[in-house]
Amino acid sequence: MQQIKSQVTERDGLVELEAGSDVLDSPRYNDDMAPTKVHQRTWNQWHIAALWVGMSICVPTYTLGGVLTGYFGLSVGEALLAILLANIIVLIPLTLNAFAGTKYGIPFPVLLRSSFGILGSNVPCLIRAVVACGWFGIQTMFGGLAIHLFLGSLSDGWKSLGGTGEVIGFMIFWALNLWVVLRGAETIKRLEILSAPLLVLVGAGLLVWALPNVSITELLAQPPKRPEGAGLASYFFAGLTAMVGFWAALSLNIPDFSRYAKSQKDQIVGQIIGLPLTMFLFASLGVVMTAASASLVGETVSDPVNLIGHIQSPVWVALAMAMIIIATLSTNTAANIVSPTNDFQNIAPKLIGRTHAVMLTGLVGLGMMAHELLKKLGLIVSDISLDTVYSNWLLGYSSLLGPIAGIMIVDYFLIKKQKLDLAGLYRDDVYPAWNSAGFIAFAVPVVLTLLSLSSPTFNWFYDYGWFTGTFLGALVYYGLCTFRGSQVTLPVKSPSN
């Protein structure tokens, strides 16, 4: 006989829900969105670290140094420092927002129900989902190119397909990504464990290939590409904001992964081990390889897929492309499909299951890359480059996501005091449908950011959008909640109850 009232227990800092009919029959619940059981939380610190190695070693990371030197006017040394510092900074919201996922086993959309409301959570969820779908499309483009070059190294006939072969490769890689996510979290974990050492081997091999053809001293001595006499501060902090924006989206939906962590220590240590150094080293490799590419292949090539494609040995090209396919797959599935899959389910959990949500994610990502795919097929002509799209996107979307991060942290740690009504997050009778404080705190920095675009005096508010948005959103939310006395501290039942 099914129990009517849900039971909540806590053991060793991990809270577990035994759902009764009050939750199971709720329109806000389905099995994929349900809190993980304690026995399902199997990821230790090395699994978390492998997740970050798998997500960090990817084509966009490789090109970050070029983005900072080319678009933000930094020298090579300044660019690498900005990347390292940005990833140390982004560890703060990553680890803090991971706490609730680890303790309660809940995904990102369910956690948002506390700060934005049961229905209101869909707004920040969909903002996050669109960003993820865009990145899914970009990464799939790189993965599809790797498949095309892999098959081209095996067959001259395939190589002659050109852009058409790249589009076919895109669709193959697109389908492969969706299949992995449909297999579930354990498949993603195994993929990350497999890919992490392979990615390190690829990086080491590229470095061995490049070092004889580049002088690190000369590379670091190259002057920055900014106006002569211009101060460093404004350029550096704009670049720093963009680099923080690289993982700004993951700093929100990290509960989607931390809900599988064994403990808070595992999620914290794993992220510290896996993120900053991996990002710094692979971005550094990208700078070195781009500088060496002219000597290696006769032209400057800024991404590893095209660079390796210039190698004359079909065997080495095939081997390297196979590893890059695995690398991009591990990044894409974890970073760009898991979150929107949960976000879309949050709209109507009883109607949109995981399969529907995964397919919806795939279709939106495909639609966002339609312009680039049509270019490759020769059906349209356009000067808009993929590099320009994602380098500008980094700064723009971080301005939107920053306030959400600040609101989530303040809500969980300062307003709710790390105590949530776990069953209530899946019902309509505990938390409000729409939390006005969350929306006001989100709207204020976003509106100011948009206004700052039309005012040269306040352009800094946009340039440093993630920082200004995060702190202002957090401050406004705390002020509103304190003023109206909305502090809610809800105890959980212990096993002795």
Nearest to residue 236, comparing CAs of 452, 470, 75?
A: 75
Tally DSSP H helices, then E strands, for the chain.
25, 2
User: What pLDDT score was predicted for residue 493?
Assistant: 47
Reported as a single tens digit per residue, the pLDDT across 315-357 is 877 877 887 788 788 888 888 899 999 999 999 999 999 999 9
Q: Which two tokens stand for residue 213?
A: 């053809």
User: What pLDDT score was predicted for residue 389?
Assistant: 61
Is the confidence at residue 312, as pLDDT, over 60?
Answer: yes
Classified as helix, coil or strand, 118 is coil
Nearest to residue 65, comparing CAs of 90, 53, 83?
A: 83
Write the CB contacts of 17 (distance below 8 Å, at least 6 apart in sequence).
6, 7, 8, 23, 34, 35, 105, 422, 423
User: What pLDDT score was predicted for residue 344?
Assistant: 96
Reported as a single tens digit per residue, the pLDDT across 264-278 is 999 999 999 999 988
Q: Which two tokens stand for residue 17?
A: 């829900």
- Give the model's confidence band at 85: pLDDT under 50 very low, under 70 low, under 90 confident, else very high: very high
Reported as a single tens digit per residue, the pLDDT across 282-302 is 888 888 887 777 777 777 777
Q: Which two tokens stand for residue 267?
A: 């999620």
Most confident of 20-24, 138-142, 247-251: 20-24
Q: Which two tokens stand for residue 205?
A: 């091999």
User: What pLDDT score was predicted for residue 7?
Assistant: 93
Classified as helix, coil or strand, 413 is helix
> Which residue ranges make up each domain of the chain?
40-383
Q: What share of the chain is helix, strand, coil (3-state, %, to 5)?
A: 75, 0, 25
Cα within 13 Å of Cα(448), Cβ side: 20
Is the confidence at residue 197, as pLDDT, over 50?
Answer: yes
> For the residues 30-47, what does the mean pLDDT come to?
94
Name the DSSP letter for residue 42.
-
Is the confidence at residue 436, as pLDDT, over 90?
Answer: yes
Task: Tell me phi and psi for residue 392, to 5 degrees.
Answer: -75, -35
Domain at 40-383, CATH from 3.90.660.10, 3.30.530.20, 1.10.4160.10, 1.20.1200.10: 1.10.4160.10
Task: Tell me phi and psi for residue 464, to 5 degrees.
Answer: -105, 35
